[in-house]
């Protein structure tokens, strides 16, 4: 299920809360109890009606608002846009009984349209905007204003990222009478700017870490005046550092390690950690390049910290409240990946102080709408980090534990509604929802407290195995299974994708539980059931691993925990190597063989005959994993099996092609796997039973190629420089994130692209003139075999009738051209032939075949007839060891005929009876002449299978033979089957000659019955068929020797003469008998 599921802000599971946090820390039940409230009301339909409205105009009038908002422009894309529309539409239905009462206009780039973005389909209208980076679209304030004016919207929602923290946006909108669903420009500037917010925090007494502006505070007189605090540009400039030299002086004054931060940075950009003075200048310039023109400041880096957030909401009437805390400490590259609410790492009193400080900050600057105050928490206390003047990605965590709908709250606040008039807020404070009595938010009758626990996981298109490298591409499948305690939002659907200019996050999953452990368990199961297939890697497997670590379960991690794991190459759980290797090789070979087949078919339909070698069904696959190269030879064994050989080891893989492009595989370890494979520029990414693993290709290390689509930001070395292996040589921007690329070998570098160039996957950016081939560590070749972990399966050996069917089918596939390379080919067909002959001579074969048919007809055959047939079979089974034992085929057919003649009179009933009993009659007819008759039929069918192909190629030229088949209206797939089989004619000749010899040896007295088939063999006139034609002629010549009856009579007369003699030692008779027995034509 895509998009939002059953849980959004305002909707919550029925489970009760267990975690403690917030102001008061009192248990809150899932139902709202007003017994302790000073206002007690009786619920009635009239009071419910008082809380609803027919239109937004009526709502604003009834609830004391000031701005009517009926149409909203969403200046964002992806998950942000999806979440906003779904949340506000839910509130609209509750309030107006019309989810479309608020109309939404969205901005859409060509890339978003191409990716089939979900938010575009949800909107009431979309406006096409320029593509490329967000400066061209979602972060372009003038463009947003222009669209808002042209579309006559009443409000603009910016969400997070892009222009959401640009004070210019609310400023310009207010000049044109358009509401901004966020803070005003002044408070946004005061608190949204990291330097300004730190100064405000210091002024109102909120603890801050040492930084380059620690000495700056507003005067006591300004603070006590009660006016809104305003931070001047001069104060911001004083807190910033202008040059690397100034920054280094501040860093040494504060003490390493420190953080270099851009005041306008965020989302992991514009921030660098520096542990020594040697690295300072380069990292300072890196921050400058990411946010040109933004003030830069230096801050002490705290260690062993937790990243804690407090959600605040404030209205236009001076009210501000906190909505509990969130713990967002699990981050990579300063970007969150797992969030949870409420935070439980400290005592409740600590979070109480954090929330009070957050509310004080908001009131000090006259903040309006939703915002997030971020702190760093250590065992020594908490420190103000920054205030984000917007909604956060992880806000649904708060929605769940507070039972509120934050986007709907933003809309109502923008309409001028006071917090105490909003239903969600009244319920949060245990006040009667259908009332307008004021609430003393600073000293409420009952302090709110969070309900339960929520864990959130960001689903991103990043590869954890490569340092969370972002990647883009199309999406084939997205299957998320929601439940009452698990829900999620996704910005793409199964037919969409993630483009190179998008945010790498395309999904957000949330799990609720009474306790933190319950929420964690629910999330793990949800992620294990989440199926995502596409051109890009995701973080799903890695998230599952993180959630199950002891550190996470015991809640003993910090903000550096994940980065340390990444640095130590701790990866997600992977599928077992050998099944993954076999699956990848099979998928690569299958893709190649299938493409060859389709290409050949396409050419054949156009009249072009390609060389038959294109249909050989063979592929050699080389894969590298962890510095080891695996070479696997894959051959198509039959339409449902592949034969794999690696060194001296062999295995067979049974496969079934799925409609969605994957393969269902059965391997030697007795486990079935669902496998999907995606080829990239330098690797193959396999998804095996929802676990991912990557195999590398063997690439030229002297060619430095782009790993992903994006932009080349800068080269970190000079052209012509000598670089060592592992030296960072370039920085690229991929999906709003900066990545550093490193060389794999030592040598002299030469640039191919220039900084600023737009790059695509595999594009050549630079070349290296290698010092020596010896300096390159090539992958070591694996010399072992297939090593599977075998799972014990208690099974029985195959029954003779199953062996017969399997060996017949195997020989038929060989004669159809599915031939293994030598020496496996001879071993394969001779083994099949031996099994076939053994099963053909087994007297239980007809008995087992007939019993299988009877079992499948249970309930459809008359009970009396069924019993009669089974009695005949029982008699046959009891006489199997007798010298003469004939299968009762005629008796069974007579029983069926007699029953039909005597019991069934109606024609339609008779037709149905014949149809139902036809399988029984077919088996009986096959064994009318006993085992010998069935053997003749089996060998005849194999011989005819060979002839059916070769008789079409008796014209010398292949092209003419194919043309003749096509002109006879033969199906194109059948023609291709004949071409493939004929291309293996020499190996098929081996099989046919072996069939001749086996039949002559085991069923020599039945050779005459194959006279017609042998005659067809002698008519083959091509050199490729000479061996089998000669073999058939010899067999026919042998037919003209004395007949079986003649030889029988001769032998009988010899025996009689011996018996009639006076003594058994009659030398003449004995000698004559000895000579006869040793003749070739002996019986």
Cα–Cα dist 1027/991, whole Å: 11
| Two structure tokens written together for 205 | 């007494």
Helix, strand or coil for residue 71? strand
Instruction: Tell me if 262 sits within 8 A of 294, measured CB to CB.
Output: yes
Cα–Cα dist 872/955, whole Å: 53
Task: Give the closest residue to 489 by CA, choosing from 11, 4, 1, 76.
Answer: 4
Cα–Cα dist 1038/436, whole Å: 111
- Integer Rg of the chain from CA: 40
Torsion of CA 393, 396, 398, 403, to 10 degrees: 160
Task: Give the closest residue to 685 by CA, choosing from 569, 806, 588.
Answer: 588
Q: Residue 878 class from Cβ within 10 Å (0-12 exposed, 13-18 middle, 19+ buried)? A: exposed
Helix (H) or strand (E) holding 327: strand 320-332
Instruction: Tell me if 468 sits within 8 A of 462, measured CB to CB.
Output: yes
Residues 6+ apart with CB under 8 A from 798: 806
Helix, strand or coil for residue 440? coil
Cα–Cα dist 703/717, whole Å: 16
Cα–Cα dist 254/214, whole Å: 10
Range list of H helices, 682-823: 800-815
Torsion of CA 473, 478, 483, 486, to 10 degrees: -10
Determine whether 390 is an active site residue. Answer: yes
Q: Residue 957 class from Cβ within 10 Å (0-12 exposed, 13-18 middle, 19+ buried)? A: exposed
Q: Which position among 28, 90, 272, 390 bears the catalytic label?
A: 390
What's the residue count for the chain? Answer: 1083
Task: Give the closest residue to 180 by CA, choosing from 410, 367, 401.
Answer: 410
Residues 6+ apart with CB under 8 A from 439: 419, 420, 425, 426, 429, 431
Cα–Cα dist 250/237, whole Å: 14
Cα–Cα dist 259/745, whole Å: 32
In sign, the C-alpha dihedral spanning 515, 520, 525, 526 is: positive
Helix (H) or strand (E) holding 477: strand 473-479
DSSP letter string over 527-572? Answer: HHH-EEEESS--SHHHHHHHHTSHHHHHT---TTHHHHHHHTT---
Q: Judging by DSSP bridges, how do beta strands 296-300 and 335-341 pair with one another?
A: unpaired
Instruction: Tell me if 742 sits within 8 A of 726, measured CB to CB.
Output: yes
Q: Rounded to the nearest 5 degrees, what angle is found at the Cα of 793, between the Cα atoms of 792 and 794?
A: 120
| Two structure tokens written together for 95 | 């309030």
Distances (CA, A) of 987 to 427, 826, 828, 983, 994: 82, 9, 12, 9, 11
Q: Is 430 left (phi over 0), alpha (psi -120 to 50) or beta?
A: left
Q: Judging by DSSP bridges, how do beta strands 628-638 and 780-781 pair with one another?
A: parallel
**Catalytic site positions:** 390
């Amino acid at each position: 299920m895509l998009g939002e599921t059953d849980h959004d802000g305002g909707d919550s599971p029925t489970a009760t809360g267990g975690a403690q946090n917030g102001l008061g820390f009192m248990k809150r039940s899932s139902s709202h109890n007003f017994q302790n409230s000073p206002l007690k009301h009786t619920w009635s339909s009239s009071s419910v009606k008082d809380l609803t409205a027919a239109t937004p105009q009526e709502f604003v009038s009834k609830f004391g608002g000031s701005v009517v908002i009926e149409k909203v422009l969403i200046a964002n894309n992806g998950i942000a846009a999806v979440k906003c529309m779904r949340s506000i539409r839910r509130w609209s239905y509750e309030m107006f009984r019309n989810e479309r009462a608020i109309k939404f206009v969205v901005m859409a780039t060509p890339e978003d349209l191409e990716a089939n973005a979900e938010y575009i389909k949800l909107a009431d209208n979309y406006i096409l905007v320029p593509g490329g980076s967000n400066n061209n679209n979602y972060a372009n304030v003038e463009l947003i204003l222009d669209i808002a004016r042209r579309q006559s919207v009443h409000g603009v929602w910016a969400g997070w990222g892009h222009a959401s923290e640009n004070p210019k946006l609310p400023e310009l909108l207010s000049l044109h009478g358009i509401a901004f669903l966020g803070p005003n420009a002044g408070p946004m500037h005061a608190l949204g700017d990291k330097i300004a917010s730190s100064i405000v925090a210091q002024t109102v007494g909120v603890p801050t870490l040492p930084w380059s502006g620690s000495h700056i505070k507003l005067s006591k007189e300004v603070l006590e005046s009660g006016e809104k605090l305003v931070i001047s540009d001069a104060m911001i400039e004083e807190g910033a550092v202008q040059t690397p030299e100034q920054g280094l002086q501040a860093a040494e004054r504060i003490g390493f390690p420190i953080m270099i931060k851009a005041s306008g940075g965020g989302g992991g950009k514009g921030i660098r950690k520096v542990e020594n003075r040697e690295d300072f200048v380069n990292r300072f310039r890196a921050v400058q390049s990411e946010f040109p023109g933004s003030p830069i400041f230096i801050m002490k880096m705290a260690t062993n910290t937790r990243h804690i957030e407090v959600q605040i909401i404030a209205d236009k009437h001076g009210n501000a409240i906190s909505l509990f805390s969130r713990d967002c400490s699990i981050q990579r590259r300063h970007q969150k990946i797992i969030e949870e609410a409420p935070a439980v790492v400290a005592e409740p009193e600590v979070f109480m102080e954090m929330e009070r400080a957050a509310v004080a900050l908001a009131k000090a600057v006259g903040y309006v709408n939703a915002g997030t105050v971020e702190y760093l928490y250590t065992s020594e206390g908490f420190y103000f980090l920054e205030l984000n003047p917007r909604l956060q990605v992880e806000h649904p965590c708060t929605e769940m534990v507070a039972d509120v709908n934050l986007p709907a709250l933003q809309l109502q606040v923008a309409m001028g509604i006071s917090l105490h008039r909003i239903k969600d807020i009244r319920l949060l404070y245990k006040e009667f929802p259908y009332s307008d009595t004021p609430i003393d938010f600073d000293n409420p009758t009952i302090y709110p407290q969070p309900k339960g626990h929520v864990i959130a996981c960001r689903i991103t298109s990043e590869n954890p195995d490569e340092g969370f490298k972002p990647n883009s591409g199309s999406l084939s499948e997205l299957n998320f299974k929601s439940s009452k305690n698990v829900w999620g939002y996704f910005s793409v659907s199964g037919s969409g994708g993630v483009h190179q200019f998008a945010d790498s996050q395309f999904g957000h999953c949330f799990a609720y539980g009474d306790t933190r452990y319950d929420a964690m368990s629910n999330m793990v199961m949800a992620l294990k059931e989440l199926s995502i297939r596409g051109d890009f890697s995701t973080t799903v497997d890695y998230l599952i691993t993180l959630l199950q670590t002891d550190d996470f379960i015991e809640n003993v991690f910090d903000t550096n925990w994940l980065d340390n794991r990444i640095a130590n190459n701790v990866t997600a759980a992977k599928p077992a190597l050998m099944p993954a290797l076999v699956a990848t090789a099979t998928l690569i070979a299958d893709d190649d063989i299938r493409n060859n087949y389709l290409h050949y078919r396409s050419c054949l339909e156009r009249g072009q005959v390609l060389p038959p070698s294109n249909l050989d069904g063979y592929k050699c696959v080389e894969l590298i994993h962890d510095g080891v190269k695996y070479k696997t030879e894959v051959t198509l064994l039959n339409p449902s099996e592949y034969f794999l050989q690696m060194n001296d080891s062999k295995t067979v893989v049974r496969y079934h092609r799925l409609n969605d492009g994957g393969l269902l595989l059965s391997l030697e370890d007795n486990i079935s796997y669902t496998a999907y494979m995606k080829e990239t520029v330098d690797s193959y990414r396999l998804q095996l039973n929802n676990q991912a693993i990557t195999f590398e290709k063997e690439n030229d290390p002297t060619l430095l190629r782009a790993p992903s689509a994006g932009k080349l930001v800068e080269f970190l070395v000079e052209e012509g420089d000598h670089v060592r292996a592992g030296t960072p040589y370039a920085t690229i921007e991929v999906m709003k994130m900066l990545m550093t690329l490193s060389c794999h070998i030592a040598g002299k570098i030469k640039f191919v692209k220039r900084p600023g160039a737009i790059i695509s996957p595999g594009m050549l950016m630079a070349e290296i003139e290698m010092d020596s081939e010896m300096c390159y560590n090539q992958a070591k070749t694996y010399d072992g075999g297939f090593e599977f972990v075998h799972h014990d399966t208690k099974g029985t050996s195959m029954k003779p009738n199953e062996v017969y069917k399997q060996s017949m089918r195997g020989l038929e596939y060989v004669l159809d051209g599915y031939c293994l390379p030598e020496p496996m080919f001879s071993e394969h067909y001779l083994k099949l032939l031996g099994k076939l002959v053994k099963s053909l001579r087994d007297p239980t074969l007809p008995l087992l075949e007939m019993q299988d048919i009877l079992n499948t007809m249970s309930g459809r055959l008359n009970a009396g007839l069924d019993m009669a047939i089974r009695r005949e079979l029982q008699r046959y089974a009891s006489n199997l060891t007798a010298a003469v034992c004939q299968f009762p085929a005629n008796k069974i057919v007579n029983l069926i005929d007699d029953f039909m003649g005597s019991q069934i009179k109606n024609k339609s009933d008779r037709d149905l009876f014949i149809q139902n009993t036809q399988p029984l009659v077919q088996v009986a007819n096959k064994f009318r002449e006993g085992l010998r008759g069935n053997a003749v039929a089996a060998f005849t069918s194999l011989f005819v299978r060979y002839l059916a192909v070769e008789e079409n190629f008796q014209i010398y030229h292949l092209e003419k033979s194919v043309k003749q088949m096509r002109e006879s209206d033969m199906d194109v797939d059948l023609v291709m089957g004949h071409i493939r089989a004929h291309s293996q004619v020499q190996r098929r000749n081996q099989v046919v000659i072996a069939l001749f010899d086996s039949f002559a040896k085991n069923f020599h007295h039945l050779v005459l019955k194959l006279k017609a088939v042998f005659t067809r063999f002698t008519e083959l006139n091509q050199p490729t068929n000479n061996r089998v034609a000669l073999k058939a002629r010899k067999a026919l010549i042998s037919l003209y020797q004395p007949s079986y009856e003649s030889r029988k009579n001769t032998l009988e007369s010899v025996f009689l003469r011996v018996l009639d003699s006076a003594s058994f030692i009659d030398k003449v008779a004995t000698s004559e008998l000895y000579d006869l027995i040793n003749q070739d034509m002996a019986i």
